[in-house]
Amino acid sequence: MPMWLFFFLAALAVIAAFGVILQRNPVHCLLGLAVNLLDMGVVFIGLGAVTVGFLQIIIYVGAIMVLFLFVIWLLNLQAEGLSGYLGLKFFGAIGAAALAAELAVIFLQAAPISRLVAAPPTQGSIASLGRSLFSDYLIAFEATSVLLLAAVVGAIGLARRISSSADQAERSGAGQTSLPDQRTAPFGGASRAVDRDDQIPTSIPAPATNDSARRERRSA
Amino acid sequence: MTPISYFMVLSGILFAIGVVGVLIRRNIIVMFMSIELMLNAVNLAFIAMGRRIGSIDGQVIVFFVITVAAAEAAVGLGIIISLFRNRATVNADELNLMRW
């Protein structure tokens, strides 16, 4: 990779990373992270890891960042101001700068044989990656598939709304139940207002309806 | 051609920026994004050193890291949504129910 290209990509990545940690609006932070990941995908391709670079762009930027964006929209997060203990933040930043300096010193003292090895032209191709993935790393590959299945089941189980019997009783005008319903929230305590889904603006507020039960619940 | 140590320095800088993000931001989702930044820095280190020693193993490990990061992001965001439904906040300073 020529030096000018590396410095351009490195500067872009560092600027985007600073944008992630310093922006006030979470969507702007996400934009910075997407630029950084896209930039790293290009660096991977430049280093010869063509398949992994494309996978990074497709999976990381194309799926994970979009998932983050959906969650930010679902929670309706706004731009926030400075909060927390500013002195601790300042010392945290200094500590991390010391970490970066230490890593830079260690890496720049590397042996003089640190030039890029002339890689065989097909090393980063799908065929060579697949050949290694399905022979040397087969157990890890299968375990990863089980991990993904567990993640899907876990994510759905955590994030779904369970329409409890309390909501159905209110809808029929029977009033608020006094027994805490164990199925509304993962950790119980469903009798509080914040645990019932209609009190928190987790999405676009529902338009005003003429339903008498809903109006009675809204005025409670 | 750029030496490999330059890529490692870039990886270290990105990792440190991710650490700063986890330390100074109080929004849980932005903290999560900083963790993804750290994972990405480690991916760069793996690819660079894999190229340096001429092995495919660096790329295979990055393949697994990307997959595990996807699974972790899905479950973590599910936890954040569930947390928001119970406490109505994503500020880490206000999630102090288990503090002494």
**Chain B within 8 Å of A99 (Cβ-Cβ)?**
yes
Average pLDDT over residues A16-24: 92
Residue A163 has pLDDT above 80, yes or no: no
Per-residue confidence band for A184, with pLDDT thresholds at 50, 70 and 90 = very low
pLDDT for res B63: 95
Query: Cα distance from B99 to chain A (closest Cα, Å)?
Result: 16
Mutating which of B46, B85, B95 best tests the A interface, going by the most A Cβ atoms within 10 A?
B85
CB A129 within 8 A of CB A141: no
Report the range out of A71-80, A110-119, A166-175 with the highest average pLDDT: A71-80
pLDDT for res B83: 87
Fold classification of B4-88 is: Helix Hairpins (1.10.287)
Q: Which of B12, B40, B70 sits opposite A104 (nearest CB)?
A: B12
Fold classification of A3-121 is: Four Helix Bundle (Hemerythrin (Met), subunit A) (1.20.120)
Q: Reduce the secondary structure of A79-105 to three states and give it as a string.
A: CCCCCCCHHHHHHHHHHHHHHHHHHHH
Residue A188 has pLDDT above 60, yes or no: no
pLDDT for res A215: 54
The ranges assigned to domains in chain A are 3-121
pLDDT for res A161: 74
**Chain B within 8 Å of A58 (Cβ-Cβ)?**
no
Average pLDDT over residues A180-187: 46
Identify all chain B residues contacting A45, using CB atoms and an 8 Å cutoff. Answer: none
Q: Which residue has the higher pLDDT, A75 or A80?
A: A75
Residue A81 has pLDDT above 80, yes or no: no
pLDDT 10s digits, B16-62: 999 999 988 888 999 999 999 999 999 999 999 888 888 899 999 99
